[in-house]
Amino acid sequence: MISSLILTVVGLLTLIYFLWSRRRLYKLILELPGPWGLPFLGLAPEYFINNLKMIQRTKYMDKYGSTILTWIGITPVILSRDPRIAEDVLSSSKFLNRNSRVTKAMENIFGLGLVTLQGTAWNARRKYLNVSFKQNVLLSFIPVFNSKSKTLVTHMDTFVEHDGIYLLPYLLRWSLSIAYQTTLGIDVKDEANFKNNALIDSWQSLVKLIIIGIFINVSQNKTISKMIGWEKKKTHEFSKINTLINKIIDSKLNSQTESCTTLPTSSVINRMIDLYQNGKISLDEIRGECCNMVLAGIDTTAVTLHHALILLAMFPHYQDMVFEELKEVYPESGDFVVEYQDLKKLVYLDRVLNETLRLIPSAGVTVRNANEDFRLSNKVLVPKGVAIIVDIFNIHRNKEYWGPDAHTFNPDNFLPDNVRKRHPYAFMPFSNGRRNCIGWRYALILSKITLARILRNYKLSTSFRYEDLVFIDNIVMKLEKSPLLHFQRR
């Protein structure tokens, strides 16, 4: 009897201490509205029941306001679609670190690199690699962009008069080949694992394991991962990727440059090799950075192109306007070279691409953790360790900044006068602030070159309605069902 009483008292005291130690977290309930979800589970079950649909977050913010408090398990998370809160977070050194749950899931698969590094280590690596994305380096990639887009456009001839094409797999394979060539200096077109699609399949399989690691945190435990079989799958898939990367690194270290295409001395692989030869990083860190960079380049470019082509197929009037602009710059269809100076003339195409990135940004959210207490501009004090989800997808559709037709595809949103009067953080497809995407200029140049070549040669159409698009949370934006596209020669 006495022992039961003692256990009860100890249990109550433990609970009281636990609640008291978290009092600053619970204080957020008084400062921010939002749904609590289920006890101990928060909103996680509802989120999964709805298959990670983006509309779930939109509904909550429509109901409670543009900055709200939600719960994932027993952890409070601030969610915001307010550009002012986004600026608070993304411009502050106190929110420099990405959410550790996300970075750890990626690190467990691909190792440390610019995407996964935190704090001072990230800051030093970013400064070191900034030179790899300077204008002169990006301009040196334009012949590669033209060559690879030519291959893609030529292959699209097989799509003409087809009943309907699911284009994304072709774009993923295409963007992988470009990422390898511009990051690592190798053209993978003759590699057996590229020809049989094993290489891109391995990358996609590992991305799925990252998503599992983010949403099912226990899967990051090696023992549990081994029991379920995920560790074996990771090792198997990564071996295909690692074999080729090791071959490239060995070639570089042994000065066998003839096995690689020429890259600028300031390219990512060359910069990382220099760090290794100066004793500042290990071979594993070279591999990790190479994997981080290739991963960042594969999905983002492919999905951006895919979404742009889908939207133009759904809105043929805007597609015709792009075509008329392209005809002025490139009077003849077929195989033409897109020069950098040409891109400045493609003003309407630029607006279309920006509007695509507004409605369907490649990454729907960015998640940051406060490394110190921080007071937001709305006067809410964010305790150290609390995560803030900057909802890029919903910021881009916030009617306060984009008007009553914020959900509608309209390239005129990017007319100069409209851009000037808008909050600078109301549009940020590559994030913003100190930890924005290092490769954003790379992505825009590649996307515009490829879109120019595709849209000058083909007219696209689809029977899928814009209103029926359903957006899914992922590492990069995903559509629940992707429209099939019809190709017609121009």
d(CA 123, CA 11): 44
Supply the pLDDT for residue 256.
Answer: 52
Query: Which parts of 184-315 fold into alpha helices (H)?
Result: 192-195, 198-215, 222-228, 230-253, 268-277, 283-314
Tokens representing 479?
A: 């559509």
Supply the pLDDT for residue 357.
Answer: 98
The radius of gyration of the chain's CA atoms, rounded to the nearest angstrom, is: 24
Q: What kind and span of H or E run contains 72?
A: strand 67-72
Supply the pLDDT for residue 174.
Answer: 96
Supply the pLDDT for residue 258.
Answer: 46
d(CA 93, CA 97): 9
Supply the pLDDT for residue 259.
Answer: 46
Domain ranges of the chain: 24-110+362-395
Supply the pLDDT for residue 88.
Answer: 97
Residue type at 249?
I
Q: How many CB atoms neighbour CB 77 within 10 A?
A: 20
Which of 353, 397, 370, 340 is closest to 75 using CA atoms?
370
366 forms bridges with which residues in the sheet? Answer: 390
Cβ neighbors of 482 (< 8 A, separation 6 or more) are: 166, 168, 306, 310
d(CA 423, CA 84): 8
Q: Are 159 and 165 in contact (CB under 8 A)?
A: yes
| Tokens 């890259």 found at | 263
Q: For domain 24-110+362-395, give the fold.
A: 3.30.43
| Tokens 């100890």 found at | 10
First to last CA, the chain: 87
Which of 135, 122, 239, 246 is closest to 184 using CA atoms?
246
- pLDDT, one tens digit for every residue, the chain (490 residues): 677 778 877 778 776 766 676 778 888 888 999 998 887 778 877 777 777 788 989 999 999 999 999 988 788 899 999 999 999 999 999 999 998 888 888 898 889 999 999 999 999 999 999 999 999 999 999 999 999 999 999 999 999 988 899 999 999 999 999 999 999 988 999 899 999 999 999 999 988 888 888 777 776 777 878 888 888 888 888 888 988 999 889 988 887 544 445 678 888 999 999 999 999 999 999 999 999 999 888 889 999 999 999 999 999 999 999 999 999 999 999 999 999 999 999 999 999 999 999 999 999 999 999 999 999 999 999 999 899 999 999 999 999 999 999 999 999 999 999 999 999 999 999 999 989 999 999 999 999 999 999 999 999 999 999 999 999 988 888 999 999 999 999 9
Please count the CA atoms within 13 angstroms of the CA of 392 that sit on its side-chain side.
Answer: 24
